Amino acid sequence: MEAGAGPLSEPMSLPPAAAIYEINTWVWLNTLSAQTGQTITLENVPDSELDRIARLYVAAVWLMGVWYRSPAGRNSALNYLHEYRGALPDIEEQDVVGSAYAIGDYQVDERLGGAPGLAHLRERLRSKGIRLILDFVPNHVALDHPWIEQEPQLFVRGDAESAAAQPDRFVAVHDRHGQRYFVAHGRDPYFPSWVDTAQLNAFAPEYRAAAEETLAHIARQCDGVRCDMAMLLLNDVFANTWGQQIPQPRPRDEFWPPLIQAIRREHPDFTFLAEVYWDLEKTLLSQGFDLCYHKNLYDRIMQWDGDGLRALLQMRPSNQIRLLNFLENHDEPRVMERLGRAKQMAAATLITTIPSAILLHDGQLAGRRIKLPVQISRQPDELLDLELYAFYERLLRERSHEVYRQGEWQLLPITHPLCCFSWQYGEDWRLIAVNFSDQPVDQLVSVPILGDARVTDPLALKVRCKQVNGGILALSLAPYGVEIWKPLNERD
């Protein structure tokens, strides 16, 4: 076994329409340490915390930021200490650990518990049926990653003239012989460079081989990877971003398909999740990814665009199921801050009960409002919304029923401001209604699958029942209200 590689047991495949729970690892462990009064690492996460996560019926935990944070990354982050005070007013230098996406090496940071701690936690999650997802950052590494000294040919490079003309895009580094060369900073073509990173050359055969080796190392430690900014490695995107800066000709093959195929030969059930924007989801799904971010749906929700949402939901369920919907993640503002409580509950109900995968973010369920920089290791105390958390628990428990996994989904022809859809699996069914208006809505809805039945709302705190006659259900929704109706049975 490779040093630090963890167990060799095979990954567990991710089920369709999975719920994935993102955890900011460093912040999570520090918060648990403060709560318990002892040092918590990946090795000794309390059973009660894993039980809490299991009660959310998630299929996977994405531990964001387990890889080694380098001295160069931390030194760069310290230059922005004043900016982090908006999120953590009492921040100290010791709270700054460097960006989770300026990776110093693909080794589990010893301060978090190292590879043995991760392996132990993975097995404990497995015992609860929960898979483990880790980060893979294919576009760039930290400025003091070992490749900087050992493998200069893996990077997009410049010369003294280009560095002088664009000092924000290039930086001088040294190889293992002490020879200076200029490397480009990693970048998205629409934003400034990430000055704590070095840009890898996706067209270089040497880097493609190194990426495969790196990913094979990661795949021995987890059940899947979330690939950061995956679309930046597409041939068209990479060529448009770097143009004449790269000496190699454009490769015949794309970056991702051979890499994904190589990993799947050893780990057939390994999951590939793409962070992707610019309407490139279909492209990456066609190249082998299992799931892709659904940024278009996120944008419609944040704009509170009910008609736009209905238009997106008209796609076939077989296409929706490979999209990952979310209300927040570490890159986006907190949903409580953007939408408030009532709209968040409506939006959460919608994305949780349509035929797609969902991403939940630690702190989202309890109504946290402060978005944390990925360079810091501690979060501020906030007043947590326990009623909102209980609502999410009921919603996710409802989502765990077989009707959502095996049933047939249908968007109903109900006009704005309502969005209504149904599920049917044998004699079981659901009707979900979301009110996008700031006004109450009373409406009769015709859903033939309901027939004549007594129905109940699984989201209600107390048993709430209605009578359906001839498939006609009377809806009465509060502003931004949601209802889920299902057949009443003896257990209810």
- What span, in angstroms and rounded, lies between the C-alpha atoms of 97 and 394? 36
Assessment of whether the complete model's pTM goes beyond 0.85: yes
* Residue 147 pLDDT: 98
* Cα radius of gyration (the chain): 24
Chain CA centroid to CA 463, Å: 34
SS3 of 289, please?
coil
Tokens of 469: 């006659």
* Residue 492 pLDDT: 55
* Residue 463 pLDDT: 80
Domains of the chain: 19-153+188-400 (3.20.20.80), 408-487 (2.60.40.1180)
- What span, in angstroms and rounded, lies between the C-alpha atoms of 409 and 83? 46
CA neighbor of 349 nearest in space, from 485, 147, 452, 196: 485
* Residue 490 pLDDT: 55
CA neighbor of 96 nearest in space, from 84, 111, 108, 110: 84
Q: Are 43 and 4 contacting, i.e. CB atoms less than 8 angstroms apart?
A: no
* Residue 4 pLDDT: 42
- What span, in angstroms and rounded, lies between the C-alpha atoms of 50 and 68? 24
SS3 of 470, please?
coil
> Rounded to the nearest 5 degrees, what angle is found at the Cα of 53, between the Cα atoms of 320 and 98?
85
CB neighbour list of residue 490: distance below 8 Å, 6 or more residues apart: none
- What span, in angstroms and rounded, lies between the C-alpha atoms of 292 and 284? 8
* Residue 304 pLDDT: 93
Beta-strand relationship, 180-184 and 157-158? antiparallel
Q: pLDDT tens track of the chain, all 492 residues?
A: 333 444 446 777 888 899 999 999 999 999 999 999 999 999 999 999 999 999 999 999 999 999 999 999 999 999 999 999 999 999 999 999 999 999 999 999 999 999 999 999 999 999 999 999 999 999 999 999 999 999 999 999 998 988 898 889 999 999 999 999 999 999 999 999 999 999 999 999 999 999 999 999 999 999 999 999 999 999 999 999 998 788 888 999 999 999 999 999 999 999 999 999 999 999 999 999 999 999 999 999 999 998 889 889 988 888 888 999 999 999 999 999 999 999 999 999 999 999 999 999 999 999 999 999 999 999 999 999 999 999 999 999 999 999 999 999 999 988 778 899 999 999 899 999 999 999 999 999 888 888 888 999 898 877 888 889 888 999 999 999 999 999 987 565
* DSSP E strands, 73-207: 103-108, 131-136, 140-142, 157-158, 170-174, 180-184, 197-199
* Residue 9 pLDDT: 63
Tokens of 84: 């982090």
